[in-house]
Amino acid sequence: MLGGELMAMANRILLKVENLSTYFELKKPHPFARAPVVKAVDGVSFEIGQGKTFGLVGESGCGKSTLGLSVLRLIEPTSGRIQFSGIDLLSLGHEACRRMRRRMNIIFQDPYSSLNPYATAGQIITAPLKVQKIGTPQDQARRLRELLNLVGLQPQHHSLYPHQFSGGQRQRICIARALASMPDFVVCDEPVSSLDVAIRAGILNLLLRLQQRFGLSYLFISHDMAVVQHFCDEIGVMYLGKIIERTDRRSLFKQPLHPYTQALLSVVPTVERSFKSLSGRIRLIGDLPSPVDPPSGCRFHTRCAYAEKRCVAEMPTLVEVDSNHYVACHRVAWQG
């Protein structure tokens, strides 16, 4: 019976995102002009199972963080659907959404700027409990002691301020705050990118231990392919607001299909590649285009060595070219 329950939990979809878009309207250049629109997230779909980690990778400015904030409704999406435990989050009113946030939280990239410098570690960690009115003051004090122990901090640390901690300790405070309300789902927005290399492994291992202990589901946002390879179950590669490749970790690192994914992986020295098309680093042509005026057709065609006329005129759709391996590329779909 227990084995069956664990199997059912492992197969349960906690979060389902369908065709999610988040657009931002900019200031008009003059009164009679149409307001420019930034398509930060443009028709993204993915699922995260209970106790699983979905990685989101891509260059800075591709929309990863906006997507994470949109899933939590910290930024209101323009369109699409977000189902959390079968509940449509976008249909919830303000109060219902606030109550639902007990079950979801976020760990921000910078562990210093995301902490109130005038609050102690104890006040920061228990803030979600006070806002959500969870437990009595005695319960909150007991929960604070539990959380400090969980993340590897000492009980006396509760009275210290953020500037009195190291970068790794500050990120542990952020993790403790994210776990205060006992959520099921946590967005990890570049949680180790601002830390020294020697400290990153400790934070990643802590996140893995917490996931195993509490069955947490993560949306893990990163630009570091080596970290994603270590941490994630499934991965979506994002470019200019769209997911252009999505599959499980092993398939992505063994046989990346999209030219952009191949370029990202070519700079990771620890990845063992079996595909013959790569012989060293692939250098992308030019810079990431502006999301205000993205290229026509395939958004990657301006930097792709394989671009053809069709790529300029027609946007590829995300299609399944192998078992649970989705790619948005005319060339890959044609070869498949």
- Residue 78 falls within a domain, yes or no? yes
Bridge-partner residues for 327, per DSSP? 245, 319
CATH number where 157 lies: 3.40.50.300
pTM: 0.90
- Residue 31 falls within a domain, yes or no? no
Cα 253 to Cα 136, 226, 240, 265, 278, distances in angstroms? 48, 10, 21, 8, 13
Instruction: Provide the number of structural domains found in the chain.
Output: 1
What pLDDT score was predicted for residue 70?
97
Q: How far apart are CA 175 and CA 172, in angstroms?
A: 5
Domain that holds residue 179: 2-26+36-335
Residues in the chain with pLDDT values less than 50: 1-2, 5-7, 270-278
- Residue 55 falls within a domain, yes or no? yes
Strands of the sheet containing 87-88, edge to edge, are 37-49, 13-25, 79-84, 87-88
Percent of the chain, pLDDT > 70?
Answer: 92
What pLDDT score was predicted for residue 277?
47
Contact at 8 Å (CB) between 21 and 39?
yes
What region does 158 belong to: left with phi over 0, alpha with psi -120 to 50, or beta?
alpha
What pLDDT score was predicted for residue 276?
44
- Residue 226 falls within a domain, yes or no? yes
Give tens-digit pLDDT for 296-305.
999 999 999 8
Q: How far apart are CA 157 and CA 164, in angstroms?
A: 9
What pLDDT score was predicted for residue 271?
45
What pLDDT score was predicted for residue 125?
97
- Residue 91 falls within a domain, yes or no? yes
- Residue 319 falls within a domain, yes or no? yes
